[in-house]
Amino acid sequence: NRDVLEVACGTGFWTAVAIQVARTIVAIDAVPETLEIARAKRLGPRVSFSVADAYDLAAVSGRFDAGLACFWLSHVPRASLDAFMRGLAARLEPGSPVVLTDNVYVPGVGGDLVWQKGEPDTYKLRTLADGSQHLVLKNYFGRSELRDVLGALGRVEVLVFGQCFWWAACRTHEVINQADRA
């Protein structure tokens, strides 16, 4: 029973799952059109959807003691991972649980994986129904690298890699009151 900040909620698929156990959810996304799809699910008064920037979580109003980010981390540029994680941790109460999940790289699924010379990020080449092709930022992580990335957020309590997905349960860093240490 927690007050959850959900980052990059998209169409609200995971919001609908999480509200079954959350007290409240503030679900944010940068794309108004996907938020309209999420709002149409009418998840009730304990859920609010808002257009917001995942890289500027300080602008999101509310107090949160849990975080959720599903299928978002792979779309964060590698150069921005640390700042994103620290920004998320800063919006949550110390010791808050955070659940993240995303894709594991599976060759041939979701388009070809593309590297661009001199860039640390990878992309998926997606072909739409109209035949147009688009490069979509899609970074994949191995277990060790992901532990390092999540370390900026807090302590990794559970990290599970499956055939298609990984999920992690983390806890934000505890703040130690210096006066208590004396």
Query: Are 88 and 148 members of one domain?
Result: yes
pLDDT for 181 equals 38
Residues 11 and 87 in one domain: yes
As a whole number of angstroms, the distance between CA 137 and CA 123 comes to 4
Q: Are residues 165 and 116 in the same domain?
A: no
DSSP annotation string for 30-72 = S-HHHHHHHHTT---TTEEEEE--TT-GGGS-S-BSEEEEES-
Asked if residue 175 has pLDDT above 90, the reply is: no
In the predicted model, is pLDDT for residue 148 greater than 60? yes
Percent of the chain with pLDDT over 90: 90
pLDDT in tens, 2-53: 999 999 999 999 999 999 999 999 999 999 999 999 999 999 999 999 999 9
The pLDDT value recorded for residue 108 is 86
Domain range for 19 is: 3-104+140-181
Residue 174 has pLDDT above 90, yes or no: no
Beta-sheet strand order (sheet of 133-137): 112-115, 122-127, 133-137
Residues 77 and 57 in one domain: yes
The residue type of 51 is: V
Are 57 and 117 members of one domain?
A: no
- 70-103 pLDDT per residue, tens: 999 999 999 999 999 999 999 999 999 999 999 9
Write down the pLDDT at residue 178. Answer: 46
pLDDT digits (tens, 9 = 90+) for 99-135: 999 999 999 888 889 998 999 999 999 999 999 999 9
Residues 45 and 113 in one domain: no
- Regarding whether 164 and 114 lie in a shared domain, the answer is no
Per-residue pLDDT at 180 exceeds 60: no
